[in-house]
Amino acid sequence: MRLILLIAALVLTPFAAQAKEAQRPVTVLVGIDGFRADYLDRGLTPRLAALAKDGATGPMRPSFPTKTFPNHYALVTGKRPDRNGISGNSMIDPRRPGVMFSLGNAAQALDPFWWNEAEPVWITAEKAGIRTATMFWPGSEVAFEGKRPSDWLRYDQNVGNVQRVNTLIDWLRRPAAIRPAFATIYFDTVDTAGHRFGPDSAEVNASLAEVDARIGELVDGAAALGVPLNLVIVADHGMRATDDSRVIQLDGLIDRASYVPVETGPYAAIEPVTGTDNRVAEALLKPHEHMTCTRKEDLPARLHWGRNPRVAAIICIAEEGWTILAGPPVYPVKGGAHGYDNADPEMLALFIARGPAFAKGAKLPVFDNVAVAALLRATLGLPEDADADGKLADVKAALKSR
């Protein structure tokens, strides 16, 4: 009998140890590009609704400019675009004359020069010996101080959402020793439908249901593996309807040869060509209908933006729903856009945190998205970054009280 017990103990111990290991929660940051906060109330996303009910949720204020790259980097660094170095989707830098950073310009977008002003959470984690894996996230393809996530992939929009989820589940299936403790996953489809068809379209609604199903698969897949998740589901910004009857054409105000349009759309970033500063400034800095132009140093303090040398000299912000153009549009104006003032309620973004680390049923008042990095660090046992713009105190209500 004693021998049987001894054998049983020897056989069972590794399983018991494995089961214990398998229960260590993995923090998963899910980014749904352009998922406006109130999309959650459309009744089209049952899995997200269930997670919100079982966790903490609330509308989240994006950082200005309400664009993809600056906000994705703010979420993982805890620093606003002025301080995280990704001050726009498109940028110029006086230290790199004649070149422009943009999403489509891989030579610049993948150059660490642009990303090294703030440390993303996956790097902080790796430095602390915590394994990380990124199934897409702006900045995750770029080395920071020579380091990268243990697993990462070069962004490819053609990789479907099913494949993105399956890749993440494969990482969760690994033995504990090589399983990530922190992972990201990113979906672009809701934003793409929002731009092309507008936030109130059937196409956006279909994309919401599709992404919801993928998140359901992620939750179910992790549950089947016995891996608990601390899920943090966020969007970078919202979406607002635009159309070609609400356009501000810069061509009527300034001569195109006299400036570089670093950015156009809901806001315009204008860098005058040397020697023409005064003419460009004079034409723009007076009152206009449906847009406000200021020198970068005169932007309202609440935007926390304009000190970085990468912000162009003159910034024009359109009235909500209006589009600033410099010549013919690159994309059709009719549809949806983001990039407006971050006080615009239609720029508010999704936030849901659900898992063993988080409070159940907590409803958060609007908070700034830079607090998310502090929340991620807390779930990973990393110390709070005193230098960050976002504080854990701003999202304390999302955490389970101990």
- Contacting ligand AMP within 324-343 (CB under 6 A): none
CB nearer ligand AMP, residue 81 or residue 138: 138
Tell me which of Zn ion, ligand AMP, none is bound by residue 192, counting a contact when its beta carbon lies within the kind-specific cut-off of 5 to 8 angstroms. ligand AMP
In this structure, what DSSP letter does residue 177 have?
G
Tell me which of Zn ion, ligand AMP, none is bound by residue 157, counting a contact when its beta carbon lies within the kind-specific cut-off of 5 to 8 angstroms. ligand AMP
First to last CA, the chain: 44
What is the number of H-type helices and E-type strands within the chain? 11, 18
Give least dist CB 359 to ligand AMP, A. Answer: 30
Other residues' Cβ atoms within 10 Å of the Cβ of residue 88: 23
Given CA atoms 29, 121, 307, 367 in this order, what sign does their dihedral have? positive
CB nearer Zn ion, residue 68 or residue 87: 68
Give 243: exposed, middle or buried? Use CB within 10 Å, 0-12, 13-18, 19+.
Answer: middle
- Contacting ligand AMP within 4-43 (CB under 6 A): 33
Tell me which of Zn ion, ligand AMP, none is bound by residue 138, counting a contact when its beta carbon lies within the kind-specific cut-off of 5 to 8 angstroms. ligand AMP
Give dist(CA 337, CA 34) in Å, integer. 9
Query: Strands across the sheet with 267-272, in order?
Result: 259-263, 267-272, 314-318, 291-295
Which residue is associated with the tokens 């021998």? 3
CB nearer Zn ion, residue 74 or residue 229: 74
Stretch near Zn ion under the rule CB under 5 A, chosen from 185-193, 240-248, 277-285, 347-355? 185-193
Under the binding rule (CB under 6 A), the answer on residue 188 touching ligand AMP is yes
Question: Which of 293, 254, 249, 297 lies closest to 272 in space, CA to CA?
Answer: 254
Under the binding rule (CB under 6 A), the answer on residue 310 touching ligand AMP is no
Give the DSSP H or E segment for 203: helix 202-225
Tokens matching residue 234: 């966020």
Asked if the bond preceding 65 is cis, omega within 30° of 0, the reply is yes
Is 379 annotated as catalytic?
A: no
Give least dist CB 135 to Zn ion, A. Answer: 17
Under the binding rule (CB under 6 A), the answer on residue 103 touching ligand AMP is yes
CB nearer Zn ion, residue 332 or residue 356: 332
Stretch near Zn ion under the rule CB under 5 A, chosen from 49-57, 189-197, 211-219, 349-357? 189-197
Give dist(CA 341, CA 65) in Å, integer. 7
Among 192, 201, 258, 294, the residue binding ligand AMP under the rule CB under 6 A is 192
Give dist(CA 235, CA 57) in Å, integer. 12
Under the binding rule (CB under 6 A), the answer on residue 230 touching ligand AMP is no
Under the binding rule (CB under 6 A), the answer on residue 89 touching ligand AMP is yes
Give least dist CB 272 to ligand AMP, A. Answer: 25
Q: Which of 27, 45, 57, 68 is catalytic?
A: 68
Under the binding rule (CB under 6 A), the answer on residue 149 touching ligand AMP is no
What is the largest distance, in Å, between two alpha-carbon atoms of the chain? 96
Cβ-closest position to Zn ion: 68
Give least dist CB 348 to ligand AMP, A. Answer: 16
AA identity, residue 311: V
CB neighbour burial string for 290-321, b if at least 16 within 10 angstroms, e if fewer: ebbbeebeebeeebbbbebebbbbbbbbbbbb
Can you give the length of the chain in residues? Answer: 402
CB nearer Zn ion, residue 266 or residue 355: 266
Stretch near ligand AMP under the rule CB under 6 A, chosen from 185-193, 288-296, 340-348, 369-377? 185-193
Under the binding rule (CB under 5 A), the answer on residue 236 touching Zn ion is yes
Under the binding rule (CB under 5 A), the answer on residue 33 touching Zn ion is yes
Given CA atoms 162, 164, 165, 167 in this order, what sign does their dihedral have? positive
Given CA atoms 167, 187, 215, 184 in this order, what sign does their dihedral have? positive
Under the binding rule (CB under 6 A), the answer on residue 354 touching ligand AMP is no
Under the binding rule (CB under 6 A), the answer on residue 191 touching ligand AMP is yes
Q: Site size for ligand AMP, by CB under 6 A?
A: 12
Under the binding rule (CB under 5 A), the answer on residue 389 touching Zn ion is no
Asked if 176 and 18 touch (Cβ cutoff 8 Å), the reply is yes
Other residues' Cβ atoms within 10 Å of the Cβ of residue 204: 27
Tell me which of ligand AMP, Zn ion, none is bound by residue 89, counting a contact when its beta carbon lies within the kind-specific cut-off of 5 to 8 angstroms. ligand AMP
Could you list the residues that contact Zn ion (CB under 5 A)?
Answer: 33-34, 68, 191, 236
Could you list the residues that contact ligand AMP (CB under 6 A)?
Answer: 33, 67-68, 89, 103, 136, 138, 155, 157, 188, 191-192
Could you list the active site residues? 68
